[in-house]
Amino acid sequence: MAMPDATTPVTTPSGPAGATALGSPTPDVGTTDSVPAELADAILRVARELEPRSLAVSGLPPLTGTEATVMRWVHRNPGCTPTEVAEATGLQRSNISTALRSLTAKALVERRRRGTDSRQVSLDVTDTARAGIAMLYATWSEIVGEALGERSGQAGAALAVLELVEDHLRRSR
């Protein structure tokens, strides 16, 4: 099935594209192209729906937004330093330190001495965190795969677009 283009009407479970989740027309935001804004809004709505459905099955303890951000970065970048986490996430170094203390206390992140300088540490997630993250990914795969149905082949294109947006946002900080 081909990806819809700007001339192809798209219908979502809540109605035609351009309708909000409640089915009412998209508010006029005064732009000539509201699709990027609608995409951003849809990302936030999907994230809000996924979160409560997935954390419970992961076996992970509740995490603050900062802790989740830090753990996600450390998981994707094993061996990183706290400074690298701060730079990559845009979080304040003091907030990173607080989150790392909490994640370490929850046995989700471990610090390892880097070289001979005891002040330099590298970070990695623990086996407990890896198992919880694997459960999260399995749950997300099931939920999103079920939602996409026969359109699941389009997930790669959507992922590529979202990664472009993420990279741009990170660089423009």
Looking up residue 80, the CATH number of its domain turns out to be: 1.10.10.10
Q: Classify residue 163: in a domain, yes or no.
A: no
pLDDT-derived band at 27, boundaries 50, 70, 90: low
CA–CA dist 158, 155 (Å, integer): 5
Residue 148 is assigned to a structural domain of this protein:
no
Whether the per-residue pLDDT at 167 is higher than 70: the answer is yes
Is residue 131 included in any domain, yes or no?
A: no
The answer to whether residues 83 and 72 touch, using CB atoms and an 8 Å cutoff, is no
Q: Measure the CA–CA gap between 125 and 134, rounded to whole angstroms.
A: 12
- The confidence score (pLDDT) of residue 29 equals 56
Q: Is the pLDDT of residue 103 over 90?
A: yes
pLDDT interval class at 115 (50, 70, 90): confident
pLDDT at residue 57, rounded to an integer: 83
Count of the separate structural domains present in the chain: 1
Determine, yes or no, domain membership for 11.
no
User: Quick count: other Cβ atoms within 10 Å of Cβ 60?
Assistant: 21
**Domain-located, residue 7:** no
Domain ranges, residue 82: 65-126
88: in domain? yes
Determine the pLDDT at residue 33: 79
What pLDDT is recorded for position 83? 95
pLDDT tier at 7, thresholds 50, 70, 90 = very low
Domain contains 133 = no
Percent share of the chain, pLDDT over 90: 66
Instruction: State residue 4's pLDDT score.
Output: 45
pLDDT-derived band at 117, boundaries 50, 70, 90: confident
- Residue 71 within a domain: yes
pLDDT (mean) for 79-101: 96
